[in-house]
Amino acid sequence: MNRFDPNDHRRWHTVLPMPPTFVLANARIGPDPSLAAIVIDGRDIVAVTDMTDAPTGTRIDLDGRWVLPGIDDSHLHAYAYGRALTAVDLRPATDAGTLRGILVAASPEATGWYRGHGWESTTIHGTGQAGRLRAADIDPATPHGPALLADSTGHAALCNSQALARAGVGPATPDPVGGVIVRDDAGMPTGLLLEAAVGLVAGAVPDITRADRRRAIEAAQSELLARGIIAVTDPGLGPGATTLLDGTGTLDALAAYQELDAAHQLRLRTHLMLLFGGLGGTTADAVAQGLDAWGPPRRASRERRLSIDQVKVFADGIPRSRTAWISEPYDDCTHGCLTVAGSTDAERVAELETIVAAAALRGWQVGAHCTGDAAISAYVEAVRKTGTGSHLRHYVIHGDLMRREDMQAMQAEGMTLNANPSIRWAVGRRVSAIIGEERNLGKQRLRTAIDAGVNVACASDAPVTDPSWQVIMAAAMTRSLRDDPGYADDERITAQEAIATMSRNAAWQSHEDGWRGQIAPGMAADLIVLDGTADWDDPWTMTDLRPSAVLIDGAVVHGELP
């Protein structure tokens, strides 16, 4: 029922050292069809030449295989992804009946709880109001313990009646700041929790061990290296993570990362974002006190793998939950709002500005989850007021409904747009009924952002979507939708731009563009060699390709070279 077998030791990778100097000959780099030679000395690329100028010595003939820079998925919940790999996989559920069928075949974990991930709120309809799922829809299928089932986005969870009782969530329980306990007409909680309300039940789940947390990171690392992903930014570990997914991504998860790095068992280049307040109700005081207790940001040297140098802020929610803060109304005439602390829009904007200042003035880079246009505007203005944008490279996460004037302001402030083309592709037209067809189709305007001079990085947001860089790039290059493959618009980007969004531009976001992210002299030899031929004029053919070899610092960490 889950996606990962921790007993399958074949998935764990060993590092295969290479000769001190070697040449990858007859390589095709990115979309360039000409043959080239990549000269590697130790951990660095020292030359990229055509074959006529290739030096002699140790040669590895790639026989025309395509080579890309190692993929940097710059917004990937690696710890949560590892946990999701061992959770009950709810993605195949297409309706309440198939959801129950999956759960009937499942069993509670060692904690005594059912843990699942991946159900889709826009396709699975239950017996609650407006077709929403409720506890009664899953109670018969989960008789042996409480159940906490995260949806595909991580912004909602479905609980059975046992879980509500175990957490003490009843009619008198107030909605937490930034969260909603969905209730029936009588005021009784239905079992569906939105945003920060997930933490009410996640906090009742018995804690897991440090070894469990390490195994989650190792499982994610094994899977990601096999896909050609050599760097990640894991967004949101710390006290606020009790509201995310299964709620275990606390400071103990961060400590598990540190233990793996200290033991030289962390191979992914990893940046961690500290999270205070979680999906809702964040206060500037909590951020300031948390950072003061933690100390200054810790940016790793190239010899290490782990940097803890960013702060994550959930500024709003998502359109499909009607919790993104937008200027034009949803179908129910609401606008959403910022999800930080405050009782009015003005109070919440002021709190967001104080939160950003609290982190930035302590030297921390801030990435803010903003999907609605009003939320994006408020955050960009908050960054402008700190005067730290160009130095710290703050960034907008998701940026679905971004205004052109905010792109111009981001460019002036040296900010990045960290976008998710595969989420837009996967959601397709299903949100059109909620925000309107034009706004839905126009989400994530990458062409406009790039033309405005904004640094654009693309990422998966796994486990929200599968961490397939191939799908991300194809979706960005075509602008098609899963439920409308023929759709296209003027926001398409080129192959070179798509590759850059998951290599050079992502490295820039992480302040590491000076030594990695490109296949060029002076750059780290972080490379993936693909097992087939790419047709860059038909981007979806990339989804058939797999890495046959993955190199970090010139050493093979997955697969093998010819």
pLDDT confidence bin for 418, thresholds 50/70/90: very high
* DSSP for residue 186: T
Identify which has the larger pLDDT, 298 or 11: 298
Q: Give tens-digit pLDDT for 89-103.
A: 888 898 889 999 999
Is the bond preceding residue 463 a cis peptide, omega within 30 degrees? Answer: yes
If you average pLDDT over residues 544-551, what whole number do you get? 95
User: Is the pLDDT assigned to residue 152 strictly greater than 90?
Assistant: no
Residues 249/79, Cβ–Cβ less than 8 Å: yes
Per domain, the residue ranges of the chain are: 9-70+520-559, 71-516
Number of DSSP helices (H) and strands (E) in the chain, helices first: 19, 22
Q: What is the pLDDT of residue 13?
A: 55
**Topology classification of domain 71-516:** TIM Barrel (3.20.20)
Q: Give tens-digit pLDDT for 321-361.
A: 899 999 999 999 999 999 999 999 999 999 999 999 999 99
Helices 251-262 & 78-85 angle (0-180, nearest 10)? 100
CA angle in degrees (0–180, nearest 5) for 167-165-106:
90
User: Is the pLDDT assigned to residue 1 strictly greater than 70?
Assistant: no
Tally of CA atoms within 13 A in the half-sphere of 109 that contains its CB: 20
Residues 192/132, Cβ–Cβ less than 8 Å: yes
Q: Which segments within 440-504 are labelled E, that is strand? A: 455-458
Q: Give tens-digit pLDDT for 378-395.
A: 999 999 999 997 899 999
User: Is the pLDDT assigned to residue 10 strictly greater than 90?
Assistant: no
Residues 210/255, Cβ–Cβ less than 8 Å: yes
Alpha-carbon gap, residue 487 to 352, rounded angstroms: 37
Residues 543/468, Cβ–Cβ less than 8 Å: yes
Rounded to a whole number of angstroms, the CA Rg of the chain reads 23
A 10 A CB-CB count for 99 gives 24
Fold match, 9-70+520-559 / 71-516: no
CATH class of 9-70+520-559: mainly beta
> Please, which residues have CB within 8 angstroms of residue 249's CB and are 6 or more apart in sequence?
77, 79, 80, 83, 236, 237, 238, 241, 275
Helices 373-386 & 404-412 angle (0-180, nearest 10)? 20
Alpha-carbon gap, residue 388 to 391, rounded angstroms: 5
User: Is the pLDDT assigned to residue 5 strictly greater than 60?
Assistant: no
Q: Which two tokens stand for residue 319?
A: 């359109």
Q: What is the pLDDT of residue 11?
A: 42
Q: In what order do the strands lie in the sheet with 306-314?
A: 71-73, 229-237, 269-275, 306-314, 365-370, 395-398, 416-419, 455-458
Residues 319/402, Cβ–Cβ less than 8 Å: no
Specify burial of residue 530 (Cβ count, 10 A radius: 0-12, 13-18, 19+).
buried
Q: Which two tokens stand for residue 377?
A: 């505007």
